[in-house]
């Protein structure tokens, strides 16, 4: 499933936690980890560098970054194959270019916390990589729940039966199979009146139809899981998807969320103001997003 895993790093605790997950996956899939630092020279030089920076400054900056990567590599298990690289330019474009030129299968990168991630996603490195990456992206926050353990024992796969949701299933099953984990296929019937407790509810017949469709969606995932020899549980919930899924993560000690997203033109809408954005922004555990067009 994964041969080359990219872990962009800026030395932050979130990036370091992401690199730990990259190492965990690399060990399981016998993959190579690529530690990358992209130095925005102009930004690093500050506001008084309108005339540009000289070669000596660039070399000093890149030498410092290479040393930082060497120190980070020393903290990873010796048996893992690791490559390090330092490039200059726009961080997002540098990451995406490295992905395209190095046959990367998975990007694992850190994100900020609840209050900061909206700013971090909007017009930022993470937002652009999530929107344009040709490969799946695993986002990781440095939280107690994201601490690296022995693997991913409980994996949540939200599904609505769409091709978008189905794109994530193969990744979830491969990871679950590797770690002997259980896949949780969950559908949330998004009925506003029911979730808000309005007096005038959804007709019972319509609700039953939605629940039946949800059961079909989760059973489709379960069928694939059983065929792959992976343990699976299914559940259909009613409420607001982002709230129900976040609660499910906490209530079932989920270690990893794997979910599908739309393609390039639609991912902005999926990530911003959506269930996917809420999970990336607020889930205490890592979230793997898989684009249906590039799965």
CATH number at 131 reads 3.40.50.620
CB-based contact 90:40 (threshold 8 Å): yes
On whether both 142 and 155 belong to a single domain, the answer is no
Final residue before a domain boundary, out of 147, 163, 184: 147
Please check the confidence at residue 53 and state whether its pLDDT lies above 70. Answer: no
The residue with greater pLDDT, 266 or 63, is: 63
On whether both 62 and 104 belong to a single domain, the answer is yes
Final residue before a domain boundary, out of 147, 162, 187: 147
On whether both 66 and 193 belong to a single domain, the answer is no
List the end-to-end C-alpha distance of the chain, in Å, as a whole number: 11
Final residue before a domain boundary, out of 96, 119, 147: 147
The per-residue pLDDT for 164 is: 81
The residue with greater pLDDT, 246 or 60, is: 246
From CA 62, how far away is CA 80, in angstroms rounded?
24
What's the domain range around 123? 1-147
On whether both 106 and 202 belong to a single domain, the answer is no
The residue with greater pLDDT, 5 or 191, is: 5
CB-based contact 219:238 (threshold 8 Å): no
On whether both 156 and 290 belong to a single domain, the answer is yes
Q: Please write the tens of the pLDDT for every residue from 209-237.
A: 999 999 999 999 999 999 999 999 999 99
Range with the lowest mean pLDDT among 115-124, 174-183, 229-238?
A: 115-124
Please check the confidence at residue 119 and state whether its pLDDT lies above 50. Answer: no
- How do strand 287-291 and strand 137-140 relate by DSSP bridges? antiparallel
Please check the confidence at residue 58 and state whether its pLDDT lies above 80. Answer: no
H or E segment and range at residue 16 = helix 13-29
pLDDT category of residue 31 using cuts at 50, 70 and 90:
very high
H or E segment and range at residue 163 = helix 163-166
On whether both 256 and 172 belong to a single domain, the answer is yes
pLDDT average, residue stretch 9-35: 95
Please check the confidence at residue 197 and state whether its pLDDT lies above 70. Answer: no
pLDDT average, residue stretch 112-139: 70
Structural domain tally of the chain?
2
pLDDT category of residue 51 using cuts at 50, 70 and 90:
low
pLDDT category of residue 271 using cuts at 50, 70 and 90:
very low
**CB neighbours of residue 150 within 10 Å:** 9
CB-based contact 230:177 (threshold 8 Å): yes
On whether both 141 and 192 belong to a single domain, the answer is no
Range with the lowest mean pLDDT among 1-5, 48-52, 140-144, 277-281?
A: 48-52
On whether both 108 and 26 belong to a single domain, the answer is yes
Question: For 64, phi and psi rounded to 5 degrees?
Answer: -65, -40
Enter the tokens of residue 122. 């909007």
Please check the confidence at residue 276 and state whether its pLDDT lies above 90. Answer: no
In terms of Cα–Cα distance, which of 280, 268, 269, 212 is closest to 242?
280
pLDDT average, residue stretch 130-150: 91
Question: For 15, phi and psi rounded to 5 degrees?
Answer: -65, -40
The per-residue pLDDT for 11 is: 86
On whether both 134 and 167 belong to a single domain, the answer is no
The per-residue pLDDT for 115 is: 44
On whether both 84 and 158 belong to a single domain, the answer is no
Half-sphere exposure of 242 (CA within 13 A, CB side): 14
On whether both 1 and 142 belong to a single domain, the answer is yes
Q: Please write the tens of the pLDDT for every residue from 66-118.
A: 999 999 999 999 999 999 999 988 889 999 999 999 999 999 999 875 444 44
Residue for token pair 């999926």: 270
Q: What is the mean pLDDT of the chain?
A: 85
On whether both 123 and 184 belong to a single domain, the answer is no
pLDDT average, residue stretch 22-41: 94
């Amino acid at each position: 499933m994964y041969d080359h895993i990219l872990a962009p790093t800026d030395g932050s605790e979130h990036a370091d936690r992401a690199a730990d997950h990259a190492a965990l996956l690399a060990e399981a899939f016998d993959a190579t980890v690529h530690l990358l630092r992209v130095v925005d020279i102009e930004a690093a030089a500050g506001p008084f560098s309108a005339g540009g920076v000289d070669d000596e400054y660039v070399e000093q900056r890149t030498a410092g970054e290479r040393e930082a990567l060497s120190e980070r590599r020393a903290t990873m298990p010796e048996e893992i194959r690791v490559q390090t690289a330092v490039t200059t330019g726009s961080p997002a474009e540098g990451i995406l270019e490295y992905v395209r030129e190095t046959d990367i299968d998975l990007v694992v990168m850190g994100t900020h916390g609840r209050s900061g991630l909206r700013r971090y996603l909007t017009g930022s490195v993470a937002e652009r990589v999530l929107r344009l990456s040709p490969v799946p992206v695993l986002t990781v926050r440095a939280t107690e729940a994201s601490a690296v353990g022995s693997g991913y024992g409980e994996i949540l796969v939200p599904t609505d039966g769409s091709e978008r949701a189905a794109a994530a299933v193969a990744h979830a099953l491969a990871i679950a199979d590797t770690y002997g984990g259980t896949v949780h296929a969950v559908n949330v019937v998004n009925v506003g009146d029911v979730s808000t407790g309005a007096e005038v509810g959804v007709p019972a017949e319509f609700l039953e139809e939605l629940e039946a469709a949800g059961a079909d969606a989760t059973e489709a995932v379960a069928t694939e899981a059983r065929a792959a020899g992976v343990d699976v549980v299914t559940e259909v919930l009613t409420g607001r998807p982002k709230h129900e899924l976040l609660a499910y993560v906490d209530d079932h000690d989920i270690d990893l969320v794997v979910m599908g997203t739309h393609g390039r033109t639609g991912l902005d809408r999926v990530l911003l103001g959506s269930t996917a954005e809420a999970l990336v922004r607020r889930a205490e555990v890592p979230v793997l997003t898989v684009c249906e067009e590039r799965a």
